[in-house]
Structure 1
């Protein structure tokens, strides 16, 4: 099985991220996912494609494993896991060293920048962030 490339997005924890319990507030992870997935897209896609397409978050499933604290060094590791129609799915792992602090599975909708309407993710766009094996699996799912 070919694994999707993973994008490493460093996180800097600020004092504003910390809640009254002394660790990163749960809501901060959602902003981090937004930032990491958008940075991933901007990193891998050509400028002309970025100008035509936008992404809207549809759903996030967050599994918290360990708290993060001010001063921790954290990486958000983003992996695209599939496409179907106008939707793309991603997994974002928040890691402190070898420890997984949280895992987020998210679904995003590809939107035409001009019309602001959902747009089917063409194979040439999907190839930007998915390996060929994933594209074939997505095509099989779409054929059903």
Structure 2
């Protein structure tokens, strides 16, 4: 399967009956849940799970989602959600890209960009990223030449 960018983190997904809406396809809100799960699993792989967030009193909170829903997913379909850390200012903000593809035919069902802001967990206020975030997320960042200007 070809991805938009090199070296994605990939989360396998299978659409369940509980995720199907009145239109007989996966509800749009479910895609957002899948994006969240994929981002968390990738963060954990980078050594930045919630336990590390708590120990550092920092977390990456969602500031903005930009989502293009390109095609529908249906019950029982096998899919893969890919994610990349696309950009980080290494102070407050980080962008993460997502791409959801159906395994059977390789069709891209979704492309998205999420902008995160670093917050202090104890106050909820924006705070500078700790060195562990700069190192962990920075090591996973797409090379500059691979980053598009838009998703």
TMscore range, shorter length: 0.7 to 0.9
Answer 1 or 2: which has greater helix percent. 1
Write out aligned runs for 1:23-102 (5 A): 23-46=25-48, 49-51=52-54, 52=56, 53-84=58-89, 85-97=91-103, 98-102=106-110
**What's the RMSD between the two structures over aligned residues?**
2.6
Q: How far is the alpha carbon of 1:103 from its aligned partner?
A: 0.7
Distance 1:35 1:46, change over 3 A: closer
Task: Give the gaps of 5 or more residues in structure 1.
Answer: 138-144
Return the alpha-carbon distance in structure 1 between the equivalents of residues 140 and 22 of structure 2. 46
Distance 1:26 1:55, change over 3 A: same
Task: Give the gaps of 5 or more residues in structure 2.
Answer: 146-151
Return the alpha-carbon distance in structure 2 between the equivalents of residues 78 and 99 of structure 1. 16
3-state DSSP class of the match of 1:130? helix
Please tell me whether residue 7 in structure 1 is matched to residue 9 in structure 2: yes
Given that 2:85 and 2:140 are in contact with CA atoms closer than 8 Å, whether structure 1 keeps it comes out as no
Number of residue pairs matched? 135
Return the alpha-carbon distance in structure 2 between the equivalents of residues 35 and 66 of structure 1. 20
Task: Using structure 1 for the length normalisation, give the TM-score.
Answer: 0.79
Say which is worse superposed, 55-64 or 126-135, in terms of deviation.
126-135
Return the alpha-carbon distance in structure 1 between the equivalents of residues 20 and 60 of structure 2. 28
- Among 99, 107, 110, the residue aligned to 2:115: 107
